Amino acid sequence: MTPEEYRQRYGAEDAVGWQCIDRQLAKVYGERGPRHYAAPLHYIAGGLDPLDGTSYYDHASAPHHIHVVSYGLSELYYNEEAVGQEFSKAGFELTFRLKRNEGDTVEPTWVSVVMNNLARYVYKSGRWFEAHQFVPAGGPLCTDMDTDITGVVFALDPELGRMDTPHGEVSFLQMVGITTAELARLQADPSKEAVEMLIEELRTGNPLLVTDMERR
C-alpha cells in the first residue's frame, strides 16, 4: 500500500492497526465480543501501562480456556510515516491462553499485568521478543497464586499466527507458562533449539499451548 492509497482508504481518526487485530480475531471468534480492559491513562500521556488494553475471549475448545490478546506493541493508530514498514512498531502483540479450572470465577486480570511488564521492558530497552525465546518470571508467574509456573516461552499463536497490515507485519507471540524444572532446563541450555524442543513437547496433547497454572 502506498501512502496515497493509505490516505484515500483511511482517515486520521481511524485505528488502522487496531482494526487489523480485530479482523484477525474475528477469524477465530466471529462476532463474539471480548471483555476489554483499557489502560486508565495512555502511556504517552503519563500512564503507567504501555499497552492500550487487553482483550479476554472465552475459547470453547478443550481445554476450556481464556485467550488474552494485547493491544499496543504494534502500531494501532493512523500513521502515514509507518506505511510500508517491514514491521509494525515492535512487530508483535502478546497472547496468552489460560486454562479455566473448576471453581474459577474471577477474571484473571493478572495476565494484563504480566503483559504490561513485558511491554514496559520492550519500550525501555528497545529490544523485542521472538518465537523460541524464554523469560524467567523471577518467581510465580501470578504472584497471588500457589503455582510452579515460573517462566514463559514464546511461540507463534497457533490460531492467530502472523498478519500483514498497512504498517507492516505483526506476529501474535503466545506466552506459554513453564515450570521451575523446565525453566532450569532452558537456563542450562538457552538455545532456540532447546526452547523449540520444549514447546513441541508441551504441544503434545495440548495443540493450542494452553497454560495450566496447576501443572507441576
Q: What is the pLDDT of residues 116-173, one digit of tens each?
A: 999 999 999 999 999 999 999 999 999 999 999 999 999 999 999 999 999 999 999 9
DSSP state of 77: S
Q: Where are the alpha helices (DSSP H) in 30-135?
A: 110-125
Query: What's the average model confidence in pLDDT over 27-50?
Result: 88
Task: Identify whether 177 is part of a domain.
Answer: yes
Question: Is the separation of the CB atoms in 70 and 115 below 8 Å?
Answer: yes
CA distance 213 to 103: 14
Task: Identify whether 98 is part of a domain.
Answer: yes
CA distance 41 to 76: 16
Find all residues with CB under 8 Å of 103, minimum gap 6, and list them.
none
Q: Which domain holds residue 91?
A: 3-203
Is pLDDT above 90 for 104?
no
| Number of other residues whose CB lies within 10 A of the CB of residue 199 | 20
pLDDT at 14: 97
pLDDT at 193: 97
Task: Identify whether 70 is part of a domain.
Answer: yes
Which pairing describes strands 87-99 and 168-179: parallel, antiparallel, or unpaired? parallel
pLDDT at 62: 80
Task: Identify whether 27 is part of a domain.
Answer: yes
Task: Identify whether 178 is part of a domain.
Answer: yes
Task: Identify whether 193 is part of a domain.
Answer: yes
Q: Please write the tens of the pLDDT for every residue from 166-196.
A: 999 999 999 999 999 999 999 999 999 999 9
> 134: part of which helix (H) or strand (E)?
strand 134-136
Q: Where are the alpha helices (DSSP H) in 10-52?
A: 16-29
Task: Identify whether 213 is part of a domain.
Answer: no
Query: Number of folded domains in the chain?
Result: 1
C-alpha gyration radius of the chain: 17
HSE of 68, CA atoms in CB hemisphere, 13 A:
26
Quote the pTM value: 0.95
